[in-house]
Amino acid sequence: MSEKLQKVLANLGLGSRRGIEVWIKEGRVRVNGKTASLGDRVDAEDRIEVDDKPIRQQKVRHRHLLYNKPNNEICSRKDPEGRKSVYDRLPGLKKQRWISVGRLDYTTTGLLLFTTDGELANRLMRPSSNVDREYAVRVLGDVTVKKLQNMREGVLLEDGMAKFTDIQRAQEDDDSANQWYYVAMMEGRNREVRRLWESQGLTVSRLKRVRFGSFFIPSSVKVGQYIDLKSRDIKILYEMAGLTSVG
């Protein structure tokens, strides 16, 4: 049974479907000796090459990690400024690579999921997956009922409408200029949490992702540490993505 070329390569852990689509457009992928095109379908008998290197179409056992991201780490593999990357702390792989399920800003801490299954990562990052994210936010400024209402109902940012599906005050401390809130949202565009607060004239002084779907950071996983997900959690991860088979 044939499948789309980018899906096959993503399932082998070579990258995300979007990233592989770029490779195909750039002419880096060949099928049976011919340069591939978007929309090509392949089966187990086809010969695939990426950057002139043959790709073996064999069933891959995927790995999945939960990582507690520290402050001041980027979510890119390389950085011209030489800053530390989240990938620097992850275990090495052979013939696979880690793919982050979404990203966190340089100064944002907390929960990050990693997988070697590109199709899984792609599904989880789609807005249609309806996976909510929860953040702990320390805010500086005058947080009024009206401002909270605005962020619940939706604010037009430069890249479209954005809103929190829930906002809860974390603690009552009227004497402090900084106030903690828990907020939830269904997507994770670039700096979206910070930009929503900033749209109301408020400043986010600390930001931590505490939940992704049904996943929380276990107390045993300290900042800068990771754990391999257990089979039960892996099953939940695939169900969140709307996939029935576990790689």
Q: Which of 36, 187, 18, 194 shows the shortest CA–CA distance to 106?
A: 194
Rounded CA separation 1/140 (Å): 56
What does the block give as tokens for 230?
């257990």
Is residue 79 annotated as part of the catalytic site, yes or no? Answer: no
Among 46, 105, 132, 233, the active-site one is 105
Which H or E element spans position 149? helix 145-153
Tell me which residue of 98, 109, 99, 101 sits closest to 74, measured CA to CA: 109
**Rounded-to-integer distance, Cα 8 and Cα 237, Å:** 20
In whole angstroms, give the CA distance from residue 212 to residue 163: 17
Q: Give the residue numbers annotated as catalytic, written as ranges.
A: 105
